[in-house]
Structure 1
Amino acid sequence: MQRRTVIKTLAAALPGLFFLKRGVAFDHLGAFGQDGAFVKGPFKPNWDSLQKYEVPEWFRDAKFGIWAHWGPQCEPERGDWYARGMYQEGSDQYSYHCKKYGHPSKFGFKDVINVWKADKWDPEELVAFYKKAGAKYFMALANHHDDFDLYDSTYQPWNSTKLGPKKDLIAGWAKAAKKNGLTFGVSVHAAHAWSWYETAQRSDKKGPLKGVSYDGRVARKDGKGKWWNGYDPQVDLYAQNHALSENSLDDGEIHRQWNWGNGVTPPSDAYCEKFYRRTIELIDKYSPELVYFDDTVLPFYPINDKGVQIAAHLYNKTIKDNGKLTGVVTGKILNEQQRKCMVWDIERGQSNEIEPIPWQTDTCIGSWHYDRRLYDNNQYKTAKTVIHILVDVVSKNGNLMLNIPIRGDGTIDDKERAVVESIGKWMMVNSEGIYASRPWKVFGEGPAIESAAPLSAQGFNEGKGKPLGAHDFRFTCKGNTLYAFMLGWPGGQAALIKKLAQGNGVGRIKTVQLLGANGNCRFEQTAGGLRIDLPEPGELKDAYVFKIEGAIV
């Protein structure tokens, strides 16, 4: 008792330097005391040190990863950001929630967690399926903005080993990835629960329950006799014992405040420290090589350096574990310096040029969290669309991380399986132009380039330009081998690649082969371009890859 009194006295005297959890004090800079240690190494927790980072070869060579963006928000099967939208009176998700579960004052998101059982989840089957589709790395959601940890978390009582499925989901995914030889990654989103959950502080403005508070401030004392007895939703899940941010009632304001500016209520030191401890433990316990952050730059940037500390820790840990740097940290909306420190991630969009440093696009064939309506209305991306995104991204020195939405029970539906299988069939024939390739001197040619849409905020230019077609080409190379991806089948009997014209800085081409077809193609290289006589496409579709040998410079 005396030791705890001393710790509490110190914490009160030095606010922001200590974080109390179960009677243990932790200093601000990462000395874990009895729980482990910040891994020391060449990377220090500052931007100048992180600039020494070089993207690992495994990531540069992999090109294609698949993501399981799966958690309790998939249980209602009503799309992304459900745990926020269900508290927005009059929204689709609010109406759906009231009809399916009841009013959010009586059945909140904590209760959605309770009914989520993930009873048909088979991680080894799913990861093996994704490997067959051509994925070289696999990423699993470790927590979302809903603040629920999907692993055995010391610092977050609201986690999947204690509540909901009562399973260590990250452990299951990590084991499956290792068994299938895929590099393992995790995505971490929980830094924003502080402001993201502010809708849970609201109440209806009209109707029979007007003025009755939602459950965003329900405390431990309110759980007596209920299923969540002993747990504290307010402190540990919703984190809503704080003043609302400016313009909080404007549902779009969260996007303008994503960088912890524009009037957002600052998160407390204890909240930030808890997130830090959770994330360090996640890295130490499950050894991911990749950590994806859904943040502007890094978690809590620029109000503190928690994200920088986590990045340095991951890099040093992979060096310690593997004898070389294998760690990848992703962030969004990076400046020139920050792009040297981590991998730039573009959400639902692509760069419009070859980037000098490897980067990543993350996108989804549907909604980030499973939405049954997309299945019912046949609204998933087609395999062709995914393949075109992959080819375009790789030609510009990027990787594609593709989410396949998972139902609440842990399965994917038959239409998703069909898309993944079609991607796999294409990769079996054409992946040599993808894996371990590098950009050529230009990324491509064709009419779609002229209509390419600029990036907006995190990305979000996907599908805004002209669709890729038969006169659009993308290029990759390996040494003197060039791969030209034709993104549609032309109406005539020949294809023309203008960038490969004689005298256009291109050497004499020796052979042209269409991957998946028998024999070499007849061709003619003139001042107008490389004209290729086309064989019958047979079963080839979606994107057609010419393997071109010669003095390509």
Structure 2
Amino acid sequence: MQYYKYILSLVLVAFLSVPTFAQDNDLSWEELSATYEFPAWYTEARFGIWVHWGAQTEPMQGGGWYARHMYMEDVKHEKWGRNAYAFHNKTYGHPSEIGYKDVLNEWKADKLNTDALVSYFKSVGAKYFVALANHHDHFDNFNSTYHPWNSVNLGPKRDIIREFEQSSKKYNMRFGVSSHDDRFLGWWEPAFGADTSGPYKGVPYDGHMTIEDGKGKWWEGLDPADLYGLPPAKRTPEYIEGVKKNWKLRHTELVTKYDLDYLWFDGYNFPYGDYGKAVSTTYFNKKRQSNGKIDAVLAGKFSSEPTTVKDIERGGASEILAYPWQGITTLRTWFYKEDEGGLDYRHSARTVIETLADYNSKNGNLVLNVELLRDGTIPTTQKLILDEVGAWIHLNSEAVYASKPWKVYGDNLDSYLKVLENSAIGEADLEALKKQKSEEHFNERTLASPAYGKDEVRYTTNGDVLYMFVLNPAEGQIELPTLGLKSKQKPGKITTIEMIGSDQKIEYKQDNTKLVLTVPANRPNNLTTVFRIKGVL
């Protein structure tokens, strides 16, 4: 607990010493918010890639909350971690002796090549890249002065965030980080438990270990309490306040030592309240003073902060939003795992592209997680998906980058629900799908979702062109009421319709009630087809 004592006694001095830039002209959060405008690089990007990657990728099984679940004989409703305890015992040893602190040191990231990763992500169409700075496991993937449990001191012994930052600058990619650390105290409580039966019944897990227990071991000099926190019974109000102050020190360093274009918090407000707000203020002030303007983005599940990007996890907006927002998702799970049944993909290139079109049509960005292997490389299956997504984005880039919503985001909406209403699906299941659609978080469509009807479309605009995305195209005619000359949207008379990627003539007829368009049999690919329509706007 050496550094917590330091914090409690000298925190004022430390606060003054962290920022490396002039503070004479610092503005308050309210002053910054009053003049803030979302930067064009972000609102025009429409597609970013994230690597939700850290030490919890080292174990090949056990779910995305491995560090927590490895201490739980019964994960109860958190079923995604059901293999962690058994896998840990079999692979590493009993958690009373070999705990997560030891797993950290096993993680070497020995094939990590940040240049190769960032240049590849750019090649498949991403306009910004995000790396994980820390997760709920309370381990920093950067050279943290205020937290000894970091990737420079142990494990990879590399400043992962610095390497990704440098590669992003090298390849002219906007760079950001995500922070998930502010819930670690409650999240780590199972590390202070013990088995309820068997030969280790009642033997405390290694969350109870102290710095003295490390003498002669690989972690000598490191205090487990700095990783797991103090045992719950010893967490006084003063101690918890020290934790929050330490979080502020670490994250102030993160936003000042590294040149970040984007900062993402995993929570529903500023982490630790005013502490998170202070870090965000420092971040924006640094960007303003360095670049003359705040060309940076702060994202999270904020409820009443108009200066932040609204983040929706594994879901999307149900309507066009007047402000920038983003949906985050992953192809399979968040951290790469090979649990039984866990290799099933939630997404393919088809569903990623459908999701991108849907989000863009509602003024949103898609941030897609790539589940790097523990060595820092991309799984083969995920690379094949990304290659296909990238080819589609490059073909249809004019309809994606810098696109804006139209008056409505689509036509023939909820086509899959209409099909199901006439099928044998149970009423309860149908109502559940309708409810899911009306929500935001966790409402995403996946490979398991009913297919879109062949006539459901999404719209974006760019300049004087309307782009129409036919989500699940099939040869034949489709009718689009929103493009009727006397529809509520009041579209202009269409002068030309072209299918992007093809020079074949497109047959269509626009009258007062609808546009009838013939989707050709021969299309650039079997994915969402995009039509360029002129005269409407």
Normalising to structure 1: TM-score of the pair?
0.86
Is residue 240 of structure 2 the alignment partner of residue 240 of structure 1?
Answer: no
d(CA) in 2 for partners of 1:480, 1:447: 24
SS of 1:120 mapped into structure 2: coil
Which of 142, 153, 159 is the matching residue for 2:133? 142
| 1:162-198 Cα distance to aligned partner (Å, 9 max, x none) | 1001011111111111111110000011111111111
Q: How does 1:62-461 map to 2 (within 5 A)?
A: 62-78=45-61, 79-90=63-74, 91-234=82-225, 236-243=226-233, 268-301=240-273, 305-332=274-301, 334-335=302-303, 337-338=304-305, 340-373=306-339, 377-448=343-414, 453-454=435-436, 459-461=441-443
CA distance in 1, matches of 2:34, 2:212: 48
Query: Residues 529 and 39 (structure 1 numbering): CA distance in 2 closer, same or farther, change over 3 Å?
Result: farther
Task: Supply the distance in 2 between the matched residues of 1:396 and 1:154 (Cα, whole angstroms).
Answer: 42
Match of 2:465 among 477, 481, 503: 481
Write the letter of the residue equivalent to 2:240: S
Cα separation, 2, equivalents of 1:348 and 1:475? 21
Does the CA contact (< 8 Å) of 2:178 and 2:263 recur in 1?
A: yes
How far residue 404 of structure 1 moved from its aligned partner, in angstroms, is: 0.5
Identity of aligned residues (%): 38
TM-superposed deviation, 1:35: 6.0
Residue 421 (structure 2) aligns with: none
Alpha-carbon distance, 1:300 to partner: 1.5
1:110 is displaced (CA, Å) by: 0.3
CA 222–35 in structure 1, closer or farther in 2 if over 3 Å, else same: farther
Q: Say whether 1:50 aligns with 2:40.
A: no
Misfit runs of 4+, over 6 Å? 264-267, 455-458
3-state SS of the aligned residue for 1:442? coil
Alignment-derived partner of residue 507 in structure 2 = 522
Count of aligned pairs between the two proteins: 508
The letter of the residue matching 1:191 is: D
- Kindly state the Cα deviation for residue 202 of structure 1 after the two structures are TM-superposed: 0.8
Native 8 Å contact 2:502 2:524 kept in 1: no
Tell me which moved more, 144-153 or 458-467: 458-467
Q: TM-score, normalised by structure 2?
A: 0.89
- Give secondary structure in 2 for the equivalent of 1:98: helix
Letter in 2 for 1:27: L
* Alignment CA distance shift 1:106-1:365 (3 Å): same
Unaligned stretches of 5+ residues in structure 1: 1-7, 9-17, 246-263
Distance 1:376 1:458, change over 3 A: closer
Aligned equivalents of 1:488 and 1:507: distance in 2? 26
The residue type paired with residue 228 of structure 2 is Y
Q: Secondary structure at the match of 1:175?
A: helix
CA distance in 1, matches of 2:137, 2:362: 34
Query: Counterpart in 2 of 1:509?
Result: 494
- Structure 1 residues 522, 292: closer, same or farther in 2, change over 3 A? same
DSSP-derived class of the 2:394 partner: helix
Q: Distance in 1 between matches of 2:34 and 2:334?
A: 32
Q: CA deviation at 1:411?
A: 1.0
* DSSP-derived class of the 1:316 partner: helix
Q: Which runs of 5+ in 2 are unaligned?
A: 75-81, 418-432
Q: CA RMSD in A?
A: 2.6
User: 1:296 aligns to what SS in structure 2?
Assistant: coil
- Quote the offset at 1:350 in angstroms: 0.6
